[in-house]
Structure 1
Amino acid sequence: MGKWGKLSYAQKKTVSTIGMLMQKTEMVHEGARLGIAVSGGVDSFVLIRAMLIRQAIIPMNIELMVLHVNPGFDPESHKPLIQWCEEYGLSSHIELTDYGPRAHGPENRNKSACFFCSKLRRKRLYELCGQYNLTHLAIGHTADDLVTTFHMNITQNGRVQGLSASEPFFKGKLQMIRPALMLEKKYIKAAARQWELPIWKNNCPSNDATKRSYIYDRLQEEWQKNPVTRNNTFNALRRWQLDLNMKKQ
């Protein structure tokens, strides 16, 4: 038993699935410095918890750093994250911005608030990776995000595209990785409860009112009618996306 104690089924599933994808795609290398983008939501919080365990397991030295860009709806929402990082001895950069209110204000009248806010936060994360000489930026996207993004791209953008597990940015200076891309959210939610992670409420006024959430809700309705189609959809898209990543190596 490791220093993290006995793991539940959901926790083991989380750690092993992340490890499988990291291994198959050769996601990290000796001396890699990973910035993990933590929003405070369940996906990214479970990712950093699982990555701490993976760090102790893998036969190479990697460094982890938590990056949190508070969009500004609640200036103190990230306090539990500060305490949690201190408890686990994790390096972190946590800052407060005004990106969220700006996205919903007069500066951004004609565009999606989510797109505007996400663009600013992603740009800031890239800047922080450069500031701290990080080689990787880890994002907490899951298999559910892969399925939803695939359907969004078909219906909204007219293209067949999912989410890459690992892709280079800035001429290879930074590698964006999605270690949890093959993992379903049901395991993440269960693992988060069992780890008692201090996840906080999303106070964004656009939360659950986006095209992404609409499409995911419609998919859920169809899957409830025939649960087999859900498993088939997830399995097919996971295999397809993994095959694409393997071909890029």
Structure 2
Amino acid sequence: MTYQKLLSYTRKAVDEFHMIEDGDFIAIGVSGGKDSLSLALALKGLQRFYPKKFELHAFTVSLGFDGFDASDVAALMADYQIPYTVIPTDIGEIVFEIRKEKNPCALCAKLRKGSFNEAAKQLGCNKVALGHHMEDVVETFIMSLLYEGRIHTFSPVTHWDRMELYSIRPLLFTPESDLISFARSMKLPILHNPCPANGFTKREYAKDMLRQWNKENSGTTERIFRAIRNSDIKGWNTDHGLS
């Protein structure tokens, strides 16, 4: 996928769901994976020509695992003139050594979200951008059906009242395969995920299931995504944005 195509996907999402307004200060959550690195470059590219002016700052939450090194990510952010901060935490120790969580993902995600949001608020950001793509939308929908018994997925735009922050997901129209292609073509410095639970999560199960469905019935992801867009799930009605 070309940079121009990524910007096209991003602008479509930003425009349809009214994700960005004049004067926004957006914190980008950068895990170091292909999705979040692509998101950072997409928003930087959009910033150059979008009629509504906004500022950016990228953050990476360090979980405190040995061997963590974000220097290549920092260099990429510097190349694109995106201000960048690494947030040091002891989340890995808390989740795996102190709490010894059997199902660590929920607690880890909660703690990472809290650290990221707090850093964003301290800097003065009013929005946070997350790198969820089309498959993430569908996988979350599947997980909600299987494990919660409800028809639900995350919204394109979410308001967190307690933090007085909006979260936006500018990559939600972007297929994961295109992000893989983009990361390869741009030679993005992907960080290795050191988490002991990596690859053994409920999301991985949903991802494998969706992959199999697409093998058996081509276009399954796009059809489920279209059904979500046409549903009454909160936040997916394009008539309701930030305005």
Q: Same fold (TM over 0.5)?
A: yes
| Paired residue type of 1:178 | R
| Paired residue type of 1:65 | H
Tell me: CA distance 1:92–1:245, structure 2 relative to 1, closer, same or farther (3 Å): farther
- The answer to whether 1:34 aligns with 2:26 is yes
1:132 is matched with: 123
Distance 2:112 2:183 in 1: 24
Distance 1:193 1:208 in 2: 21
Cα distance, 1:142 vs structure 2:
0.8
Tell me: CA distance 1:89–1:162, structure 2 relative to 1, closer, same or farther (3 Å): same
Cα distance, 1:187 vs structure 2:
0.7
Query: Mind listing any 5+ residue stretches in structure 1 that lack a counterpart?
Result: 1-8
- The answer to whether 1:169 aligns with 2:160 is yes
Distance 1:133 1:110 in 2: 33
Cα distance, 1:172 vs structure 2:
7.9
1:246 is matched with: 238
- The answer to whether 1:188 aligns with 2:176 is no
**Where do 1:8-27 residues align within 5 Å?**
9-27=1-19
2:79 is matched with: 87
Count, aligned residues: 240
1:100 is matched with: 92
TM-score of the pair, normalised by structure 2: 0.91
Percent of pairs identical after alignment?
29
Could you say what secondary structure the match of 2:32 adopts? Answer: coil
Tell me: CA distance 1:171–1:202, structure 2 relative to 1, closer, same or farther (3 Å): closer
Q: Would the aligned equivalents of 2:158 and 2:235 in 1 still touch at CA under 8 Å?
A: no
Q: Would the aligned equivalents of 2:44 and 2:82 in 1 still touch at CA under 8 Å?
A: no
2:53 is matched with: 61
Cα distance, 1:24 vs structure 2:
1.2
TM-score of the pair, normalised by structure 1: 0.89
Instruction: Indicate which of 70, 84, 88 corresponds to 1:78.
Output: 70
Query: Mind listing any 5+ residue stretches in structure 2 that lack a counterpart?
Result: none
Tell me: CA distance 1:25–1:120, structure 2 relative to 1, closer, same or farther (3 Å): same
| Paired residue type of 1:213 | E
1:5 is matched with: none
Could you say what secondary structure the match of 2:238 adopts? Answer: helix
Cα distance, 1:102 vs structure 2:
2.3
Could you say what secondary structure the match of 1:156 adopts? Answer: helix
Cα distance, 1:137 vs structure 2:
0.5
Please state which structure has a larger fraction of its residues in helix: 1
Could you say what secondary structure the match of 1:244 adopts? Answer: coil
Could you say what secondary structure the match of 2:236 adopts? Answer: helix
2:148 is matched with: 157
